[in-house]
Amino acid sequence: MILYYRESNNDYLAVDTATNDYYVLHFGQDYFEGRAAAIDGLVGSVCTTCISRKYLHQNCNRVPKDKVPDEWRKAIGL
């Protein structure tokens, strides 16, 4: 399942919850694979990265997909 978040710096990211088991099993970390801006505020700099559950709880708010601006949804590619 893909979940969308808004970071405290107003960037958006997408998290693939199905990847958590992989990170826990192979690395012992509570991470997810996701798409996020590599450079704060620069929509075109979106990259694939691992994102910790702790980071999501401390720095992000979950948002519905329809609240993610079109330019971010296009950049995220999901």
Give per-residue pLDDT as tens, 14-71: 999 999 999 999 999 999 999 999 999 899 899 999 999 999 999 999 999 999 999 9
What whole-number distance in Å separates Cα of residue 64 and Cα of residue 78? 13
Which range marks the domain in which residue 51 is found?
Answer: 2-65
Does residue 9 form part of some domain?
A: yes
Query: pLDDT tens across 67-78, in order?
Result: 999 999 998 876
What whole-number distance in Å separates Cα of residue 26 and Cα of residue 10? 31
Does residue 72 form part of some domain?
A: no
Domain count along the chain: 1
The pLDDT, as a whole number, for residue 44 is 86
Does residue 70 form part of some domain?
A: no
Does residue 40 form part of some domain?
A: yes
Spell out the residues 6+ positions from residue 27 whose beta carbon is closer than 8 angstroms to its own. none
pLDDT reading at 5 higher than 80: yes
Spell out the residues 6+ positions from residue 11 whose beta carbon is closer than 8 angstroms to its own. 36, 37, 40, 41, 72
What whole-number distance in Å separates Cα of residue 1 and Cα of residue 71? 21
Span 3-17, mean pLDDT? 95
